[in-house]
Amino acid sequence: KSRAMRTIHSHDEVHVPSGVNATVNARVVTVTGPRGTLTRSFKHFQCDIKIIGQSKKKFQVEVWFGSTKERATIRTVCSHIKNMITGVTKGFEYKMKFVYAHFPINVAITEDGKKIEIRNFLGEKIVRKVQMLDGVTVVRTDQKDEIALKGNNIDLVSQSAASIQQSCLVKKKDIRKFLDGIYVSDRNVLEVEA
C-alpha cells in the first residue's frame, strides 16, 4: 500500500496592524489592542506559531511534513488570530430579532446588560433567564423587537446569541408552523474603533 506524499513545508502569515501588541509563547497567543486583551491557546494544533518582522510584525503559522488535515489547520489558526485582532481593534456585534405570531415576546435586560429575561414566550408564564458570557453586553436597538450583543471575543458573542436562541425552543409543536423565537438577524463588525 503506497503512502500519500507529504508536503515538506506549509505556512501562512497574518499581518499585525499598528496599535496592536501581539505575543506568542508555547502556542498561546495574546493580542492587546485599544478595546482590550484576548488570549487563546492553540496547543491542540500540531503547528509552529511565531512572530516575525521588527517594524511590521506578522504571525507566521507553519507545518512541517504535514498531512492534508494537518495543513488545513494553518488556515484555521490564522482565521482565529484574525478574529482576535479584529476583536481588540473594532469588536463584534450580533443582532437578534423577536419573531412571534400571537403572544408578543417581552424581554428585560438586567445587570447592566449582563443578563436577559424573556417573558410571555408562546404565552408561557415561565421566565427564561440567560446570562451573557464574560465581556459580552446586550442592549436594545432603535428598531422594534430587536436586541444587539456586543463584545471583543467572537466565540463568546456568538455563544451568548446561541444560548438566547436555544432558550426559546418550541416544544411538542410543529416547528414549521410555530416559528416563534429569538433569532440572529445580522452579524457585523463594529465600525467605530475605540
Reported as a single tens digit per residue, the pLDDT across 117-152 is 999 999 999 999 999 999 999 999 999 999 999 999
Using 50, 70 and 90 to split pLDDT, how confident is the model at 193? low
Determine the Cα–Cα distance for residues 167 and 192; give it in Å rounded to an integer.
Answer: 31
Indicate the helix (H) or strand (E) that contains 46: none
Determine the Cα–Cα distance for residues 185 and 42; give it in Å rounded to an integer.
Answer: 31
Question: Does pTM surpass 0.85?
Answer: yes
Q: Which residue in the block uniquely carries the three cell numbers 499581518?
A: 15
Give the model's pLDDT for residue 5: 73
